[in-house]
Amino acid sequence: MKILTVIPTYNNETTISQVAQKALKNGIDVLVINDGSTDKTSDELSKISGINIISIPENYGKGNALREAFKWAIKNGYTHLISIDADGQHDPAEIPKFIKQMEENENCIIIGTRDFCSAKVPLASRLGRKYSNLAFRLVTGISLTDTQSGFRLYPLKKLSPLISNKDRYDFEMDVLLNAVITGFQVREIKISVHYSKKTGKTSSFKPFLDSIRIAKIFLFALFKKA
């Protein structure tokens, strides 16, 4: 098995260096997708040795960045892809948890379930996860704890036909939904999460627009099911 850590980034100049360097410490190849950043993200990346970088000239969205990462990983012979956010809310030191779980079942999707016990978790994140989990259960009949987590492991070979054409944050939900509907197993592992003013400022998630995009994914799936 050959594993690749992927970090999509857009204007994360204050966090990308720390995230990428911590990811490298796991001894796994790292690919950063610079999705048209207009700040000093490119300068920060140029200081890090040992990482692979794909620079997209314009910001097309996290979904497009992940799709490019999937294609690059498959082309270069990787069997599994671990995605992690660049804003600092995830801890790359927890990547070995995913690998350990993967070794028990190499063909399942693994989702890092964020610990929301902290009082610092934004209300929008709590509500978004709650309603996303509910919608997912209504469509699939399967209960998951954190359908919106961006810290995931994907098995590339079997999942490649299901790569989504969505360009924004709806990409991850579209892939997960289609995978479960077609019979993929999903496992969850507990992970920590860190929210701060820094992560809030560097996150490019747009609560209103991206929530509408994700809602459309569920509505389309319900329509097909009917």
Q: CB–CB of 95/23 below 8 Å?
A: yes
Q: What is the pLDDT of residue 224?
A: 65
pLDDT by residue (tens digit) across 187-213?
999 999 998 766 554 455 666 566 677
This prediction's pTM: 0.88
pLDDT by residue (tens digit) across 49-91?
999 999 999 999 999 999 999 999 999 999 999 999 999 999 9
Cα–Cα dist 95/90, whole Å: 10
Kindly give the pairing relationship between strand 152-155 and strand 109-114: antiparallel
pLDDT by residue (tens digit) across 41-59?
999 999 999 999 999 999 9
What percentage of the chain has pLDDT greater than the value 90? 65
pLDDT-derived band at 179, boundaries 50, 70, 90: very high
Cα–Cα dist 130/125, whole Å: 8
Domains and CATH numbers, the chain: 3-225 (3.90.550.10)
Cα–Cα dist 41/64, whole Å: 18
pLDDT at 145 over 50: yes
Which tokens is 53 given?
């970088």
**Of 13-22, 129-138, 171-180, 191-200, the least confident:** 191-200
Q: What is the pLDDT of residue 46?
A: 96
Element (H, E) at 5: strand 3-9
Cα–Cα dist 226/211, whole Å: 23
Q: CB–CB of 33/6 below 8 Å?
A: yes
